[in-house]
Structure formats: C-alpha cells, structure tokens
C-alpha cells in the first residue's frame, strides 16, 4: 500500500478547475485515509452543488491510481467548505489581505440622494437636474450636485460656474452657484476636450467625486447620471446604496420605453425609483398662446404607471428654459413664475416631500391641468450629512 505522503504528493497535480491552484494549497484536500486495500480521499468543494465536482472527482481518481498496487481502489468523498474555510481560502489567495469592502457614501440617512437618470440622451435630464437643485436651494435647503456624466458634462455651463476646485488637506472643495455646491469633470478638463475613459477610470472618478469632495452638511445631493445603464450608473448604485432614482423622459413613446429601462435598472441594483418627470411636455406659442404637443402626449404618465411611482411634473418646452441653460441661470431663478419655472418648482416641492417622508410610501399626487402637479411644500427640518474632516475656507472661482 502507498503511504499517505505518497498519495498527497500525487494529488499535488490536481488543480481546482476555476482557480488553477493545487487543491491541497486551497484547503480543499481535507484528509487521506488508507485501509483495507483502498484509499479514501476527502475533498471539500468550495460551494455546494459545484458544477465541476465530477471533473474534480475524475482528476483525483486519475492522480491517485498510478501509485496503487493492482487490486487496490480509490474512493473520493466530496464535502463542502464552511463559510469560515472559504473566507480563509480567499484571504490566502489575496496574500493575507482580508477581502475589500465596497466603499459607500451618504448612507447615514441624513442626506437624501437623488440620481437623475434617463434612458437616452437629449431629453433634458441635466436641465431638470440643475433647475430642481436651484429650486430646492431657493427654499433654504442645503443642496449639492455631482455631475457624473463624465463624457457629456454640462452642469457647469448650465449653472454658470467655472474655475478649478481648490484642494484643502487632501479634500476637494466644490464650487458653488445659485446656492448649490457643484463638482463636475468640467472643472478639471477644458469644455471642448473629450474624456475617453473606460470602466475602471470612470469608477475611480465617481469614487473621488463622492468621497474626496468636502460636501459639508447637505439635505439633498442630486447626481446627474449619463444616459443609459452603463458603468457609471452601476458604480453609483454600489457607492450610494440609499440613493433614489428620478427618471426623466419626454412624452414620445421611443423615449418613454428607454426611460422605463433606466427605472427598472434601479430595482435590479436595489435602488428605489422615486418618481418620473416628463420634460418637453408641450409647447406654447409665444405669439398666439396655442399649446402644441410636439412630442406627443402621455409618455410620462405611462412611464410612472409602469414603474409604479408618481409623476412629479410635466415641464413645457420654452425658449427661456433653453436660454437659461446656455447663460448659466436656471429658469427657476430667472423666471420662477413662468410656466416652466412654476412646473419645475412644484416638481421640486413634490420631490422633496416624497423622498423625505419618514414612512417612505408613495404619496397621492394630483395633477393640475396644463402646467404640472400641484401640492403643498413638504420636507420639514433636515439633519445634514458631515464628512469626518472639517473644511476651512473656500476659494473657488464662481460666476
């Protein structure tokens, strides 16, 4: 009969099919028992029901058989690692370092994080973001905007702010405009320079915007996401487990269908959809006052119904709203009593009311004809979020 040491030496050639290391080095070779003319090899699978267990069984049998005498047999007994054994294996594979934990931000419940998403570009997501932020700030709330649309950043121009953020004690100080704290890739590269980045770099940029920027105490942080459901949206979901999604769409069916996909992404990443805003809902002729549904009707209502959330507002298409984005003055600041200004301010009030409610249940929202939803201002008093370090001074260049 072979010795136990001989059997173990033969088993050195048996590798885990996934990891590519000897099963003995991984702690999978539990024991070798030699008695009554047979060799029993006890192997621990990393998970129950491992799909490669038959291959492991065969590899172990073939490795041991050459060291046996004629008439001797090998038997493989498969078991499963405990959670502690799996963690020990992972730590060993990492060179003794414990598994890294996903870093998260704004998860203490003090800051309401709203990620503004759309299924496709060109629906006015950034315009909605900056106007909601400015409207919330005008009501005395502490608001920040993180522009994570790394490729198509437009928040700096729309908020009328430029310059380079100042570094202070390993922190980045956000710039400020219209009472809103802002960070954007647009502060770090010229506006005409394309950002050609892939997943890992995007992930790191989002992490720095959230963790290395001194936001101070915020009631609301609005995140302007890039269109679609790509790398940045996935990273944001991981970094901001308590975030809620606000879906922006236009009335037309093509935009609505894609917007619903963006909303459904939230449930797959364990986020909550707060509601829907329909942008470019209708156009009012400045000469005759006639209202025209250029992009159709009903897209916002259908998207909200499909996602099971409220419709916060129907924002009209106006030249003033577009002009405000070009000049850096949101329409809720320049013309708060205009149809678009009223609709956006009401949407901000309802968004605050819906997302800050303690019981986190949808509230009944009644749409007023023509201009959007109506309703009381909500929100109450809010405790702010604070980073561990304290900031001292702010010397960014604001316009």
Of the CA atoms within 13 Å of residue 224, those in its CB half-sphere come to: 31
pLDDT tens digit sequence for 103-112:
888 888 899 9
Q: How far apart are CA 140 and CA 145, in angstroms?
A: 15
User: Of residues 373 and 237, which shows the higher confidence score?
Assistant: 237
Residue 271 contacts residue 263 (beta carbons within 8 Å): no
Residue 234 neighbours by CB under 8 Å, 6+ apart: 269
Confidence of residue 373 (pLDDT cuts 50, 70, 90): very low
pLDDT value at residue 166: 84
Residue 14 contacts residue 23 (beta carbons within 8 Å): yes
Both tokens assigned to 151: 């490729």
pLDDT tens digit sequence for 376-388:
333 333 333 333 3
pLDDT value at residue 160: 95
pLDDT tens digit sequence for 121-138:
789 899 999 999 999 999
Residues of the chain by 3-state class (helix, strand, coil), percent to 5: 35, 20, 45
pTM tops 0.75: no
Residue 173 neighbours by CB under 8 Å, 6+ apart: 165, 166, 167, 213, 214, 391, 394, 395, 396
Instruction: Please check the confidence at residue 101 and state whether its pLDDT lies above 70.
Output: no
Both tokens assigned to 171: 């922190």
What domains are there in the chain, each with its CATH number?
Answer: 4-93 (3.30.300.130), 112-374 (3.40.50.300)
- Min mean pLDDT across 170-174, 276-280, 393-397 is at 393-397
Mean pLDDT of all residues belonging to the chain: 81
Stretch 208-219: mean pLDDT: 89
Residue 244 contacts residue 115 (beta carbons within 8 Å): yes
């Amino acid at each position: 009969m072979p010795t136990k040491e001989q059997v173990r030496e033969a088993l050195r050639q048996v590798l885990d099919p996934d990891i590519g290391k000897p099963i003995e080095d991984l702690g999978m070779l539990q024991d070798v028992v030699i008695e009554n003319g047979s060799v029993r090899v006890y192997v621990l699978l990393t998970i129950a029901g491992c799909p490669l267990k038959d291959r492991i069984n065969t590899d172990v049998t073939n490795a041991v058989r050459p060291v046996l005498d004629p008439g001797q047999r090998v038997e493989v007994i498969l078991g499963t690692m405990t959670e502690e054994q799996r963690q020990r294996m992972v730590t060993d594979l990492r060179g003794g370092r414990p598994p890294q934990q996903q870093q998260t931000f704004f998860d203490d419940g003090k800051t309401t994080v709203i990620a503004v998403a759309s299924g496709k570009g060109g629906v006015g997501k950034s315009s909605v973001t900056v106007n909601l932020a400015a409207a919330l700030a005008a009501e005395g709330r502490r608001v920040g905007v993180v522009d994570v649309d790394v490729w198509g950043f437009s928040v700096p121009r729309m908020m009328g702010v430029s310059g380079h953020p100042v570094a202070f004690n390993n922190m980045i100080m956000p710039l400020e405009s219209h009472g809103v704290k802002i960070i954007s890739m647009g502060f770090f590269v010229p506006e005409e320079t394309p950002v050609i980045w892939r997943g890992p770099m995007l992930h790191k940029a989002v992490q720095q915007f959230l963790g290395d920027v001194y936001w101070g105490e915020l009631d609301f942080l609005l995140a302007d996401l890039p269109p679609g459901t790509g790398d940045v949206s996935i990273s944001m979901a991981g970094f901001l487990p308590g975030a809620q999604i606000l879906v922006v769409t236009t009335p037309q069916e093509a935009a609505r269908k894609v917007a619903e996909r963006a909303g459904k992404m939230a449930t797959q990443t364990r986020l909550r959809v707060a509601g829907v805003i329909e942008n470019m809902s209708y156009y009012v002729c400045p000469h005759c006052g006639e209202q025209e549904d250029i992009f159709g009707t009903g897209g916002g209502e259908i998207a909200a119904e499909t996602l099971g959330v409220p419709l916060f507002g129907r924002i009209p298409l106006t030249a003033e709203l577009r002009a405000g984005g070009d000049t850096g003055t949101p329409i809720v600041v320049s013309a708060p009593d205009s149809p678009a200004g009223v609709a956006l301010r009401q949407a901000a009030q309802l968004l605050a009311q819906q997302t800050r409610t303690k019981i986190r249940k949808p509230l009944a929202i009644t749409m007023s004809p023509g201009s959007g939803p109506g309703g009381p201002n909500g929100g109450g008093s809010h405790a702010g979020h604070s980073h561990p370090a304290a900031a001292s001074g702010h010397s960014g260049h604001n316009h």
